[in-house]
Amino acid sequence: MCLLLLVLLVAAISFTTSATEQLRPCGDGKLGFASYYGDHMVLQRAPQRAVLWGCGPLGTQVTVSVQGPTTQEILVSVSNETRMWRVILGPVESGGPYNITAALTNHTNSFVTLRDVLFGDVWLCSGQSNMYFEVSQIFNASEELALASNYPHVRFFMVGLDKNDIEQQDLDKVNIPWSVPNEKDLAPFSAVCWLFGRYLYKTLNSPVGLVESSWGGTTVEAWSSHTALKKCGLDHKDENYLGPTENSVLWNAMIHPLLPMTIKGAIWYQGENNAKYHRDLYSCTFPAMIDNWRTGFHKGSGGQTEIEFPFGFVQLSTYEHSSTDNGFPEIRWHQTADYGFVPNFRMKNTFMAVAMDLPDDTSPYGTIHPRDKQDVAYRLTLGAQAVAYNNFSTFNGPFPDLIFPDNTYVTITFDQELSVSPSEDIFEIGCSSNSIFHILGFKWMPASIMNPIRLERLAL
């Protein structure tokens, strides 16, 4: 009995702040919105409800009023303890523009206004250098930037690089305030995030708000809370590994403050830095981070962000063609919690943009940074269509449905049509009499494609 394995990878918070460390972002309580509210922003549209929060003087009330195609007004008291106020707006349908004012009740001259606000879907974009990779660096960058002004309803915001030992209530740094696309402001923004947003906009025809919070060279542990790390046995800080990759520091400074924001979903491009750091824990740490972000955003938004919000990510491509494994095979496997495809039982409501086929051997930014961000962003939008918007088309690669070995050939039936050329080395086959083949020393052998019998069947 021979166990066969194919190596064609197919597409297939707790919101706690300890009392002693409770931060008071409001200082003495000057009236204002939290740092990530601003003119030109996108707030989450109906059926979800957007959250607004800010600061105000002790003992006052704030009236939040929404003016635009629809109107609403909500009165809220400033907390005596934290000098913070928070409202959950009534649901607002896609569109705009709106002006949103927070005014001190009965003080006619004390108010702050957010102008040109749209309601649409808000997506968070996070990860390391491939998410940080700028629009100005991709293939066809100048053409892409020249298109920017055609998409005034895709707005973007970038969190500043920051780390902290304790969970922050508000952002300390903003890198790009909410912007209407123009060449200059878009150039340093995340290419994957931007392209995802603008492709998504084309299918939704509804405003899209993009929030980038990413940092190059960072590990999944840095973006994970202590609660998430504990699930994988990483309770303590790793004192040997300092800097922006230290456990939880980016979660504390760059994600935790965003939790009150109502979002539609998140996309992620990371893993390279875990290839040599806690690599084989990644199948635990990555899903644990997703779970923990989901709980945190759900609670932080007063239940408005879905408890299992859609989470998409980019598969790492190959990058070291001189090495025997081409780079990152283990991390690619762990990106799917060792299933080989998503969504799966461990990673529900997730989607993955396959990138195995998109290396960039001549990238001036290093082969680890492919310049083709268009294809991965497009594949992410196909996944988002299916997982986040229930608009199913083909969003995964061909998946082997049936594997049938006889004495001469192995016939594989896929769940969708394929276009293949006969090849000597696309497939490898691993054989073992034992199902724990991966720890026994067994061999992978190239298997040539003998005959694409029918379009969706291959004989090896």
Ligand X SMILES: *[C@@H]1O[C@H](CO)[C@@H](O)[C@H](O)[C@H]1NC(C)=O
What residues make contact with ligand X under the rule CB under 6 A?
58-59, 61, 67-68, 80, 97-99, 105-106, 115, 139-140, 203-204, 372, 374, 385, 389, 391, 393
DSSP class of residue 190 equals B
Q: What's the min distance (Å) between Cβ of 450 and ligand X?
A: 33
CA distance 347 to 148: 34
Q: Which long-range contacts (CB under 8 A, 24 or more apart) does 455-459 make?
A: 455/417, 455/418, 455/419, 456/398, 456/413, 456/414, 456/415, 456/416, 456/417, 456/418, 457/411, 457/412, 457/413, 457/414, 458/411, 458/412, 458/414, 458/418, 458/420, 459/409, 459/410, 459/411, 459/412
Q: Shortest gap between Cβ of 203 and ligand X (angstroms)?
A: 4
**Residue 35 or residue 101: which is nearer to ligand X going by CB?**
101
| Closest separation in Å from C-beta 313 to ligand X | 19
- Pick between residue 16 and residue 203 the one whose CB is nearest to ligand X: 203
Q: How far is the CB of 105 from ligand X (least distance, A)?
A: 4
In angstroms, give the least distance from the CB of 29 to ligand X: 11
Cβ nearer to ligand X, comparing 61 with 363: 61
240 Cβ partners below 8 Å, 6+ apart?
none
Comparing CA positions, the residue from 307, 310, 288 lying closest to residue 297 is 307
Question: How many alpha carbons fall within 13 Å on the CB side of residue 417?
Answer: 2
- Minimum Å gap between C-beta 110 and ligand X is 12
* Least distance in angstroms from the C-beta of 390 to ligand X: 9
The nearest distance, CB 426 to ligand X, in angstroms, is 23
Nearer to ligand X, 204 or 355 (CB): 204
Nearer of residues 117 and 331 to ligand X, judged by Cβ? 117
* Least distance CB 77 / ligand X (angstroms): 7
Alpha helices (runs of H) in 211-278, residue ranges in sequence order: 226-230, 249-250
Cβ contacts of 382 within 8 Å, gap of 6 or more:
393, 394, 395
CB-wise, 338 or 375, nearer to ligand X? 375
90 three-class SS: coil
Q: Toward ligand X, which CB reaches closer, 203 or 433?
A: 203
Q: Closer to ligand X by CB, 51 or 204: give it.
A: 204
d(CA 231, CA 76): 38
Instruction: Write out the two tokens for 119.
Output: 């309601």
Question: What's the token pair of residue 330?
Answer: 């283990």
Closest CA to 43 of 100, 119, 156, 153: 119
Closest by Cα among 124, 116, 65, 98 to 300: 124
- Yes or no: say if 37 and 85 are a contact pair by the CB < 8 Å rule: no
**Residue 294: Cβ-neighbour burial (10 angstroms; 0-12, 13-18, 19+):** buried
Rounded to the nearest 10 degrees, what angle do helices 373-389 and 191-204 cross at?
A: 50
Contact 54/79 with Cβ under 8 angstroms? no
Strand partners, 52: 87
Nearer to ligand X, 154 or 259 (CB): 154
> Which residue number, 34 or 62, has a Cβ lying nearer to ligand X?
62
Give me the least distance between CB of 391 and ligand X, in Å please: 4
Instruction: Name the β-bridge partners of 444.
Output: 430
In the bound complex, what is the minimum distance in angstroms from residue 350's beta carbon to ligand X?
18
Distant-in-sequence, close-in-space partners of 329: CB < 8 Å, separation ≥ 6: none
Q: Which is nearer to ligand X, 308 or 372 (CB)?
A: 372
Q: How far lies 72's CA from each of 61, 66, 68, 343, 408, in Å?
A: 17, 5, 9, 39, 72
